[in-house]
Structure 1
Amino acid sequence: MSLLLEALKKAEKAKEEAQKRARGDSGGAAGELRLEGDAAPEADNARVVTRPELPDISQPLEIVSDDLVVKEPAAPQTAPSPRPQAPPEADPRSADRAAARKVFEAKFKEPNPRVPFYIAMGVLGVFALGTVGYFWYQLRTPYALVNANPPRPAGEAVVAAAAETTAPVRPAAAPTGQGPIPGLPGSASLPSPTPARTPAAASSPTETLAVPKPAPKPLLSAPPARLIPDSPIVVPERRAAPQVHPKVESGYAAYLAGDLATARADYQDALREEPANRDALLGLAAIDVRTGRYEPAEAIYLRLLQSDPRDSHAHAALIELRAGRMDPLAAESRVKSLLANDPAADVLYFTLGNQLALQGRWAEARQYYSKAFAADPDNADFAYNLAVSLDHLRQPKLALEYYARALALAEKRAASFELAAARSRVQQLGH
């Protein structure tokens, strides 16, 4: 390899020398005139390399790695780094503009396109849960009724006809949110549950009240308990009650006949002989409520509570009288606390049912009306309010049965509800 390179270098060098001579000869000819004889010797003196004189390169050449010298790359020249220039002074206006631009960019971010989808799915989910909850509440089975007053042993005395008296009330406004059932005369909705039973035959459509019923004569034998057809309510035995004052009994009879003046006189005569006669006081309070004298009636009930703070009838009557001035939830809580102390008071079950009916909670009201009627199956008002609650719960068969039972009881015992409205409803449900 080295020989070949050397031969090539020599050939290149010879070629360059020939070119120089040619340029020299032409330059000399241009500058001065020479004789042909002078030029000939120089031409003869020029040595010309011929082919035979070239080195023999037919032999194989050996490549020696030592001949190849790796040339180290030249170190790059590092240009001097420019000196850092001082930053230009910030313009306050440009800084304010930049800050304002950042604030607007933060406020006006591009909304997430999936947000409406999530909102729609959430609303549909809540609606579905509400629908399921509504149907579950409407279709759930009512609670089992419990007879709060089991039959007592025969011959056991009761307190002054307490089981036969009911609490006075002032009718409250009908609960809102209940669907009307047309067809009743003078009303576009179901018959309102009567607040309490009144003893007079000339019942007032606006204010009603119950009066104590004279205790019936003791029965020689009590019939066994019987079941009402198609009803889970157990009617307890009729039990004997002690005799009452004759004037109280005559006053109650006059009250049933609609002679309020005679009834008041008889009750007052009984109080002259027995100032603390509870039945006479309850009768006077009932007459006061019937005639619209609510303050004297309330005073009588407070007098009864002073004598016996646990008098359930007086408590129930005061709650009914103050229904328009009390919070329904507070009244409900008060009645429940009274029931905890006296679970055998049927009038408290009736009062609690009235408070629940005022709130439109008919399923719960129906349970307490059933308990009250089970404790006093001869009370027409208890049967009527139970029928109204069943009517609101869309149970026409049972409602018809208790409407008819209430009308039958009202013929024997004074009732507070409107007989014409009850008869009209019976005709509608019977068709």
Structure 2
Amino acid sequence: MRTTIGDHLRKLRTGSTLTQERLAERAGVSVETIRKLEQNERTSARMSTLNRLATALGVPTTALMGSAAQAQAMREPDAEPLGLVDVRRALTPVSGLDGRSAVGDPETGPPSVADVRRSILTANTIYHANDYAAALGLIPGLLDEARALVGFSDGDERLTAHALASRAHQLAGRLLIQLRRLDLAHVALASALDHARHSGDQMVGAAAVAPMCWLLLRQARFAEAEALAVRTADQVEPRLSTASPAELAAWGFLLMKGASAAVRDARHADARDMLDLAAAGAHRLGDRPSPDADITGNDYSAEGVHLMRVEAAVIADRPDEALALAQQVPQSPQVTPSSRQRHRLDVAHSHVQTGAYADATGVLMDLRERAPAWLRQQRYARDIVQSISEKRRRAMTTELAELTSLVGA
């Protein structure tokens, strides 16, 4: 039996000698919420609620996460029904004939815009730290909180609520893509696009399109991914001389997604043209960060465009060119850890293609040390490890054996 949020909460609360009433008072949440969590009548809670409970108990929010999410993040064989059940509930809620939810929400009262924005930032920080187990545990409460904000809002605040709900669903979609739950990711990203349309904010809409393009790439739907990216980029294309960082980042990131699709469809010249255009925008952007980069995963920058050039060389089966380009990568504060990690897999792959198996193994061992949860989810990493095992003539090293065990090669 895997432990739940309520199990952790009960253990931490009793260990602190606090009663449910005293914890409720200190955290500013209802006793009913605590009771239902501890009795497992409810297996998730709003992100802001978890933050308040953790603060009152003097522990990090991740200390409340259940181990089912850990099993899902580490791809344990029996993790599917347990690790994703609350995410499925949050993404596909069930209502009866009267329109009421089949599962009652023990929390009452509307969350605030500040609460939801803070929750998205917290979950996104955990996601980019490669702590997928903790992120997976937080996502259901985040989605519930965002949905509640939309339901309680009206007027201009409702538009803001829809924008935040779109951001929350984008994050859920990106996490589910990393966990290779592509159909569920599609549900999340379709909802993100729907909320973006209701928000009336073109930048939010562009941000929602980018992970949908990533999902289509994962499904080998290259023509659709390119068409969606290019059409949306045309819709949001700014005047470079006057564009804001947010406008430049939204447009340039879509061009990168379009290039990624084109090169996979063996249309290398078109990919190069898009990357050249994206590079011009990145030069104009300079070091000015997009204001929402930390909650959209948009790491458009000169470095990001250069990493895409390396990837394009790898896909075109030009490993020597890829390795040469990898030696010239400019550094940018905007690039996310997952983008740099993906780039390192391109470097490892190129080393394998040129027969430098020890160098490839060294790159993978460094990733194993820095981001084991991320590496375990990468089919690309598994393919690289299998290639090393098949091509090298010597007996398997201890390091290669450890990598094989981690990625399931």
TM-score > 0.5, shorter chain as reference: no
Q: Which has the larger radius of gyration?
A: 1
Point out which structure has higher relative CO (alpha carbons under 8 A, 6+ apart).
1
Normalising by structure 2, what TM-score?
Answer: 0.39
- Which of the pair is proportionally richer in helix? 2
Normalising by structure 1, what TM-score?
Answer: 0.37
